[in-house]
Amino acid sequence: MKISFCITAYSRDIHLLDRLTDSILNQSEKPYEIILFCSEVADNSIISRIPDIKIITRVDRVMQSKARNICSKVSSGDVLIFFDIDDIPHYQKIEVTSYLFNEYNPDFLLHSYSDVVHNNNIDKKLLDVRTNLKIDNTSTNLYCDGFPIHHAHIAVKKDVFKKVRFNESLKAYRKEDGIFCQELIRNNFKGIYTPEKLVQYNQ
């Protein structure tokens, strides 16, 4: 399973890149590739020093949805993990993601998050994995077994992403993740969810 780790950022946040790349390189299982899309960048010398990372820069401001769509085009992995530059992955995030795609063969994966650092060891065989994902027709929220779930942390097969992409319209601004996940469900793609906290999420 080749995993592409796709990071989107604006130039004002680029000082967080070293921290994130360190945490990616310290993963229990390394990604196949790391892609960074950074907009509002006039001089990319600040980020060109980082080895083994595909860098895409734009001078203009690019919304997250479009940035993620562009990342997918240059990726060559089987599964795309989309990630914000200010979040920190659990050190087993890629390992667990790879395991779940190999074990359950979903089209996409959602997981939970924490607002504090926690690097407890995760036993993959004991993971709570659920499939009962539902749409809230009054919002962009998702539910699983009657409980709301956070949909900003998603991994999706690249073949699926060719059919359902992030909505780039202004109407979708700051709701891109929810709209994307709902479209996956509406198009009958198989999703799984684990409550396991695989990201330290900075709100």
What is the predicted pLDDT for the residue at 128?
A: 95
Report the interhelical angle of 64-74 vs 176-186 (nearest 10°). 60
The confidence band for 46, taking pLDDT boundaries of 50, 70 and 90, is: low
Q: How many domains does the chain have?
A: 1
Higher-pLDDT residue of 6, 41: 6
What mean pLDDT do residues 16-37 have?
91
Distance CA 101, CA 106 (A): 6
Going through the chain in order, the beta strands assigned E by DSSP cover 3-10, 33-39, 54-58, 79-84, 88-89, 108-114, 133-135, 142-144, 147-149, 154-157, 191-200
The confidence band for 15, taking pLDDT boundaries of 50, 70 and 90, is: confident
Q: For residue 183, what are the domain limits?
A: 3-200
* pLDDT tens readout for residues 86-123: 999 999 999 999 999 999 999 999 999 888 767 789 99
Of the candidates 30, 32, 31, 36, the one whose C-alpha atom is nearest the C-alpha of residue 17 is 36
pLDDT exceeds 80 at position 48: no
DSSP string spanning 77-128? SSEEEEEETT-EE-TTHHHHHHHHHHHH--SEEEEEEESS---PPP-GGG--
What is the predicted pLDDT for the residue at 171?
A: 86
CA atoms within 13 A on the CB side of 135: 16
What is the predicted pLDDT for the residue at 49?
A: 58
pTM equals 0.92
The confidence band for 45, taking pLDDT boundaries of 50, 70 and 90, is: low
pLDDT exceeds 80 at position 66: yes
* pLDDT tens readout for residues 176-194: 999 999 999 999 999 999 9
Of the candidates 56, 40, 46, the one whose C-alpha atom is nearest the C-alpha of residue 16 is 46
pLDDT exceeds 60 at position 203: no
What is the predicted pLDDT for the residue at 186?
A: 94
What mean pLDDT do residues 1-25 have?
90
Burial 143-169 (b: 16+ CB within 10 A, else e): ebeeeebbbbbbbbbbebbeebbbbbe
What mean pLDDT do residues 7-26 have?
89
- Tell me the CATH number at 128: 3.90.550.10
SS3 179: helix
DSSP 150: -
* pLDDT tens readout for residues 136-185: 888 888 999 888 887 778 999 999 998 999 999 988 888 999 999 999 99
Phi and psi (nearest 5°) for 137? -70, -5
